[in-house]
Amino acid sequence: MECVLRAERVLIDGHQVPAAVGIDRGRIAFLGEVDADCPAGEDIRLPESVVLLPGFVDTHVHINDPGTDWEGFETATAAAAAAGITTVVDMPLDCDPVTTSVAALNLKKATAAGNCHVDVGYWGGVVPGNLDDLADLARAGVRGFKCFLADSGNPHFPHLSPAQFRDAMGRIAELGSVLLVHAESNRVIDAGPAPSGREYRSFLASRPDAAEDDAVALVIDAAAAIGARAHIVHVSSATVLARLVEAKRAGIPVTAETCPHYLTFAAEVVQDGGTEFACCPPIRDGANRELLWSALHDGTLDLVVSDHSPCAPRLKGDGDFGRAFGGISSLQLSPRAVWTQAAARGFGLADLSRWMSERPAALAGYADRGRIAVGLRADLCAFDPGALDTVRAATLRHRHPVSPYDGVTLRGSVLQTWVAGTPALVGEPV
């Protein structure tokens, strides 16, 4: 073996057990008793406080590279490694060009080359007029596709009408792929008030629960009629949960995610001018948050991902919600933020790993990661679940120090991250 890791607590098949994990050529080649005879070039015993987890997988990350100064592959993947995240999948918008063609995908891959601390995959974009490009994008290696049902905020990535969405789902079915959907209804949002001023309630009123409910109904109906896999991203409103329950009971191929900020914050605590909390769909009230936790518990919501969506500080509107670019910067904090709230509600590390490693890996078609088992990639995270630390946004590895988590105390810390058996928390990009 190249390396063996020994720990009193290793998460294997949902249980924390003493174990030795042998690594060779980037794969887990051995699992045995913690003191098993396993000759290796490097033999590491982890501290008793640490649990060895599968590396986290974040399938909803806006790296926005090339073409912006909002984030970049080096800074984003360094933040991911510091969080114990070993794979990220990049979203296709807010880069220039947007990832709606093979040429744009190749440019993005070239930009990433030599600048990444963790493994990076890509979603392809679906916009009006590019359906004939989807097969080529699939052949070029995208993990699946992403579309919007409301204004994306980027004129180069327009949303789909209901009819265009159904056509897109037909193509997705032909490809045997998955379509990730920003499920807010443009019709509902356009009929409502625009946000303005410093009051968060104005922003909240501009994107009501009805916008999510209307869009999710469209997604479920299309998935049922066409048979294509659909995944609803960043569920914020509990009003959609009953529809998701019914769809899953009926065997409709639809899954759904939520995000750490919806599980952590509540509308009641967002102060006037707090545009660092602005995101689409919005953070709703505390009662709604608890319903999202219940939906994670019962499996209505499948997974949790960051939706890391940074921008330059100048675009946060100087406290005016009518001018603020929507997005939460949280990649480095995502697993710790969820663990903080999950532990307080009686969930365990097996739940955290299922929501943030195993199921995101499955969504993106990664059969070789998300668990600790012989033959899988040695994507691992040494995690201390009891540590406490107060976030200082200025010290995070994100490009810009703007985050609603600034000053928040979170539980958990990452001692080390391994990507395909290589330490990735510090050092040069891989």
The tens place of each residue's pLDDT in the chain, 430 residues long, gives: 999 999 999 999 999 999 999 999 999 999 999 999 999 999 999 999 999 999 999 999 999 999 999 999 999 999 999 999 999 999 999 999 999 999 999 999 999 999 999 999 999 999 999 999 999 999 999 999 999 999 999 999 999 999 999 999 999 999 999 999 999 999 999 999 999 999 999 999 999 999 999 999 999 999 999 999 999 999 999 999 999 999 999 999 999 999 999 999 999 999 999 999 999 999 999 999 999 999 999 999 999 999 999 999 999 989 999 999 999 999 999 999 999 999 999 999 999 999 999 999 999 999 999 999 999 999 999 999 999 999 999 999 999 989 999 999 999 999 999 999 999 965 444 4
- Per-residue pLDDT at 73: 98
Partners of 388 in beta bridges: 411
- Per-residue pLDDT at 425: 67
**Nearest one of 243, 343, 352 to 300, comparing CA atoms:** 243
Give the Cα separation of 175 and 252 in Å (integer). Answer: 18
pTM of the full predicted structure?
A: 0.97
